[in-house]
Amino acid sequence: MSADIRKQLTNVLKKIRAEDARLIEQADTDIKIHPASFLKQFKIYEIKHFGEYKPILFYVGYGGGQEVYHLTADAENYERMSKADGVALEGPEAAGEYVATYLEVTRSMSELFYLVNSVGEMRYFPNLSEAEQEVQTDIEAQYGGVVGPPQAEPLGEGYEVTIYAVREQSLERQKIRVGGDGEIMAVNIERLAEDLPLVYGG
């Protein structure tokens, strides 16, 4: 990432999160753009600081002016950024990407949470016991034809997006209603399976 963007992010973040601004200045902090094709003016930056014990990861939305939105664990800021950007979701594909990005960049870093497009992306412990292997086989048989990439269906003046995720050791199906302007209108979470032998920990 260019030195200019690093400097800009540091300056605007100093006003709201001085500690994050300090991390951005350090040489062992990587900055990259998180894909978000629905944005016109803003970009989402993934910022990872390689600390002494474990990496520190957070996301911010920035459009080059004085407005900056800290997105990690702050869903409302994601919507504020989208409103400031003038987001208009034109079609199911854009809605699916918007909701997937929403879940990714606003997640809490205190627990392990990740999206899955297939059951093959679920991260199991290595060296499973026989009983744990049976659990994995059962999950693959039951949900192999169910879990897939985000699917968006038109609903009213927006969309309903179905998306699958792992939270610690559970498999979730989320149905999220989103307006054409990016407003998150409703979130319904269904836990499909629990206590799975999956890698866990934030």
pLDDT > 80? residue 197: yes
Task: Give the three-class secondary structure for 170.
Answer: strand
pLDDT attached to residue 202: 57
201 located within any domain: no
Say if residue 73 is in the same domain as residue 135.
no
pLDDT attached to residue 75: 95
Beta bridge partner(s), residue 155:
158
From residue 147, give the alpha-carbon distance in Å to each of 93, 100, 114, 177: 17, 14, 13, 19
Say if residue 112 is in the same domain as residue 160.
yes
202 located within any domain: no
Calculate the CA dihedral of residues 109, 111, 112, 115 and round it to 10 degrees.
-70
Tell me the pLDDT band of 5, cut-offs 50, 70 and 90.
confident
Range of the domain at 147: 94-99+108-193
Domain total in the chain: 2
| CATH (domain of 53) | 3.30.720
Say if residue 66 is in the same domain as residue 115.
no
pLDDT tens digits, one per residue of 49-73: 987 778 889 999 999 887 899 999 9
Say if residue 83 is in the same domain as residue 114.
no
What is the average per-residue pLDDT within 192-196?
96
pLDDT tens digits, one per residue of 8-29: 999 999 988 988 989 898 888 9
pLDDT attached to residue 150: 97
E-strand stretches of the chain: 29-34, 43-50, 55-62, 68-70, 113-115, 151-155, 158-167, 170-179, 184-193
What does pTM read for this prediction? 0.93
Q: Which residue has the higher pLDDT, 27 or 36?
A: 36
Say if residue 18 is in the same domain as residue 57.
yes
Say if residue 163 is in the same domain as residue 124.
yes
62 located within any domain: yes
pLDDT attached to residue 129: 94
pLDDT > 80? residue 183: yes
Q: Which residue has the higher pLDDT, 77 or 50?
A: 77
pLDDT tens digits, one per residue of 126-173: 999 999 999 999 999 999 999 999 999 999 889 999 999 999 999 999
- Among 55, 87, 119, identify where a domain stops: 87
146 located within any domain: yes
Task: Give the three-class secondary structure for 152.
Answer: strand
